[in-house]
Amino acid sequence: MIIGIFGALGASWALCRLNCTTDTVLTGVYLPFLKNFVINLGWLYPFWAALVVTGASNAVNLTDGLDGLAIGPVMVTCVVLGIFCYVSGHSIFSSYLKIPHVPMTGELSVCCAALLGSGLGFLWYNAPPAMIIMGDMGALALGGTLAAIALFIKQELLLGIVGGVFVVETFSVVIQVIYFKRTKRRIFLMAPLHHHFEKRGWSESTIVMRFWIISCLLGIASLMALKIR
């Protein structure tokens, strides 16, 4: 939570420092696939930013339960956010594609490319059987970084789509805890969701590859938001 608060404050401060020669509502939340639909949170925006950073950080951390599982969706998210960063920072492209224009965010595509490259290098040693693991420090940092990038380019809700694997893993834990406290019974054999499939007899490599496939499909669906508005 502390990481989320400081991350939100940093993102909010950076947004306020941007060149505001744009019609983009910097304290607004834009809905993917909808043109010119924005919810202006105003002074509540830092709290929204804290929720996004905290949620994304913990979501990646919860997903990091099998060798290679978390880094695949992270890399897919980096690719999608990198494309959106470049488009958002370009006034002509963003105007044509009807997505929020935030000046100077095009440089964040370099950050996304760096994350992608480091993710590939990490995956070389994290593929089953892993020689190194991400751990809490790596997972929390990656989730927070992706959240910060999404906040900068006003694509927080798109992050929830491209990072749908993280969202489902997180909600599987939330649902399991709430349901167990109310009924003393479990919906899933074990949470997060990837452990449920382990209990059902799926091999680790099968779970990882299928989650990667789902992540790639979500990435393609997210890129459709560039044109479907």
CB 189 within 8 A of CB 200: yes
CB 77 within 8 A of CB 83: no
CB 60 within 8 A of CB 140: yes
Q: Which two tokens stand for residue 226?
A: 């560039």
Residues of each annotated binding site: 61, 136
Residues of each annotated binding site for Mg(2+): 61, 136
CA atoms within 13 A on the CB side of 37: 7
Dihedral sign, Cα of residue 98, residue 100, residue 104, residue 110: negative
Mention every residue, 6+ apart, whose C-beta is less than 8 A from residue 161.
32, 218, 221, 222, 225
pTM, two decimal places: 0.89
- pLDDT-derived band at 19 (thresholds 50, 70, 90) equals very low
Domain ranges of the chain: 2-226
- Give residue-wise pLDDT tens across range 41-85: 888 888 999 999 999 999 999 999 999 999 999 999 999 999 999
Strand, coil or helix: what is 34?
coil
- Give residue-wise pLDDT tens across range 73-124: 999 999 999 999 999 999 899 988 988 989 889 999 999 999 999 999 999 9
Q: ω before 100 within 30° of 0 (cis)?
A: no
The 10 Å CB-count burial string (b at 16+, else e) for 202-226 is eebeebbeebbebbeebbebbbebb
